[in-house]
Amino acid sequence: MSYRNLRKLLLALGFLVVFVYAAYTGADLPKNGQYVDRLSGKAVPIDPSVTFEYGKPIQIAYVVDGDTAQLINGEYVRYIGIDTPEEFDPRKPEQCYAKEAAAENRKLVQGQYVVIQKEITERDKYGRILGYLYLSDGTFVNKKLVEDGFAFAYPYKPDTAKADEFAAAEVAAKEAKHGLWSVCTTYRLSGGREQTNDLGR
C-alpha cells in the first residue's frame, strides 16, 4: 500500500473514531471541515493537507480527553507514559477527575503548536500517533499532567524511557495531594494500571 493510500485510510479511521466518540458524548461532529469547540463556541478548522512529522511543530485542533488530542490535520495523538481518568468509555461509568483532566489538557494544548517526540512505537492499534508533547515554551505536557495530579504514570512497553521520571512526578503529586489525589479514591488493576473511582461511588 502506498503512503498516500495509507494516510487516507488512517484519516478515514480517525473520522470513524470521531463519529463513535460523538455518539457517546454529544460532541459536535465536523461540519465543512470544522469542529465547534463546545467550551469556547469557536470553529476549529481541520486541514488534512498538513503533514505530521515527529520533531516538527504542529497545531492541536481539539482535545478529546485528558491524554488524547486531535491535530490540525485530523490525526489523533495519544500521550505516552501517562493515563488519565476515563470520561467517555462506553464500557464503564465516568471516573473521578476525568472532566478536570480533560479541561486541564484543553487549557494546556488546544490551539497551541506542539512538538511531538517519539520513542519506539509510532502508532497504537487504533492508528493514533504516540508521543511526548512539548509546548513552545518547553513545557513537557505529559509530565506536567502527572505533576499537577491530572494523570497517572503509566509505563507501557516498549516505550518506557521516561517511566522513572513520570513515576517520581506521580509520587510527588500524591504526597502533595495535587489534583485527583485530593478528592478521588484510587486503585490498581491486576496489570498495574491505576484508576480512579467511578463517580457516584
* Active-site position among 78, 87, 104, 170: 78
What's the burial of 22, exposed, middle or buried (CB within 10 Å: 0-12/13-18/19+)? Answer: middle
What's the burial of 145, exposed, middle or buried (CB within 10 Å: 0-12/13-18/19+)? Answer: buried
Is residue 106 annotated as part of the catalytic site, yes or no?
Answer: no
* Active-site position among 100, 128, 147, 170: 128
Q: Helix, strand, coil: what percent of the chain each, to 5?
A: 30, 25, 45
3-class DSSP state of 37: coil
| Pairing state between β 129-135 and 76-79 | parallel
Nearest to 88 by CA among 61, 105, 64: 64
Cell matching residue 197: 473511582
Is residue 128 annotated as part of the catalytic site, yes or no?
Answer: yes
* Active-site position among 86, 87, 104, 147: 86
Q: Active-site positions? A: 78, 86, 128
